[in-house]
């Protein structure tokens, strides 16, 4: 099987992706006519993930995020050098890299949005397939208890905590979530939540956090990778089933996130 056959399988699932206009899903490095030996899946093809691919004899990496930093012709010199080092390793070991983002964010059940909801364990209302957002009515709990629940859920995917804006003792009955960087607070308001769960790359402090504080909406913040890795891991069994192959593995990106607090 060639790489182009695997990417075609993934792309045909994304009926909501306007590929003729704009998509993030492309072969970023290598040759799509290359024969697939072993596939490695990761949230981002960090240098550690690439070296893990070399060790595990992977010759095709599917990454959710861009492993070459910024998509720009005005990159920082340090980022250019780091990207070139990654490409040198990939070239040396005959590894191709495909980014699967727009399809895998929203694909039903196995994708990033639904796997994040499954991790949280609440009964979310049905999501429009092209939407990143979901809402759920939950058993009454304080915002603090909800934050502890989210932190506990994240541990298996490498994040050791969360942080929160707002009143920890506010009673919560309804939440709204996005996934990855798609956690625009103002769009989440359409679900009338008592609290929201967002990502660090999906909000900013001077706008979203300020509004949440002013409007008394507790806002729990998780790391971008933390809420997406579950969905990326789920690509492994999905591909195994669709390709009838066991030569697929998950590559550790090294995105273990530690939180340090005072005891005051």
Structural domains of the chain in order of their starting residue, each with its CATH number: 3-104 (3.40.1390.30), 122-224 (3.40.1390.30)
Helix (H) or strand (E) holding 76: none
Binding residues: 64, 105, 224, 228
Q: Is the distance from CB of 200 to CB of 223 less than 8 angstroms?
A: yes
Cα atoms in the Cβ-side hemisphere of radius 13 Å centred on 121 = 8
Q: What is the mean pLDDT of residues 215-228?
A: 97
User: Strand, helix or coil at 195?
Assistant: strand
pTM of the model: 0.94
Helix (H) or strand (E) holding 115: helix 112-120
Task: Give buried/exposed letters for 102-129 (b at 16+ CB in 10 A, else e).
Answer: bbbbbbeebbbbbbbbbbbebebeebee
pLDDT in tens, 114-171: 999 999 999 999 999 999 999 999 999 999 999 999 999 999 999 999 999 999 999 9
Query: Computed from CA positions of residues 23, 154, 52, 233, in that sequence, does the dihedral angle turn out positive or negative?
Result: negative
Query: Computed from CA positions of residues 75, 80, 112, 259, in that sequence, does the dihedral angle turn out positive or negative?
Result: negative
Binding residues for a divalent metal cation: 64, 105, 224, 228
Q: Is the distance from CB of 68 to CB of 83 less than 8 angstroms?
A: yes
pLDDT in tens, 73-110: 678 999 999 999 999 999 999 999 999 999 999 999 99
pLDDT range class, residue 3, cuts 50, 70, 90: very high
Most confident of 157-161, 239-243, 255-259: 239-243
């Amino acid at each position: 099987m060639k790489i182009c056959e695997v990417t075609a399988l993934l792309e045909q699932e994304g009926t909501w992706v306007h590929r003729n206009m704009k998509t993030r899903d492309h072969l970023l490095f290598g040759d799509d006519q290359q024969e697939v030996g072993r596939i490695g899946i990761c949230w981002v093809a960090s240098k550690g993930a690439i070296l893990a691919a070399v060790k595990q004899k992977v010759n095709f990496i599917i990454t959710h995020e861009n492993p070459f930093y910024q998509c720009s012709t005005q990159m920082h010199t340090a980022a250019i050098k780091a990207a070139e080092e990654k490409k040198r390793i990939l070239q040396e070991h005959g590894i191709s890299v495909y980014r699967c983002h727009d399809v895998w964010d929203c694909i039903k059940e196995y994708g990033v949005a639904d796997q994040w909801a499954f991790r949280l364990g609440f009964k979310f209302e049905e999501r429009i397939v092209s939407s990143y957002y979901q809402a759920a009515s939950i058993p009454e709990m304080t915002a603090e208890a909800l934050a502890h629940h989210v932190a506990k859920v994240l541990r298996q995917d490498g994040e050791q905590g969360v942080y929160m804006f707002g009143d920890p003792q506010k009673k919560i009955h309804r939440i709204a979530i996005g996934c990855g960087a798609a956690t625009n607070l103002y769009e989440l308001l359409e679900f009338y939540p008592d609290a929201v769960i967002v990502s660090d790359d999906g909000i900013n402090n001077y706008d979203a956090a300020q509004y949440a504080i002013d409007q008394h909406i507790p806002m729990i913040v998780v790391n971008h990778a933390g809420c997406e890795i579950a969905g990326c891991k789920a690509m492994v069994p999905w591909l195994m089933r669709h390709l009838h192959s066991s030569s697929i593995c998950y590559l550790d990106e090294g995105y273990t996130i530690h939180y340090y607090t005072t005891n005051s």
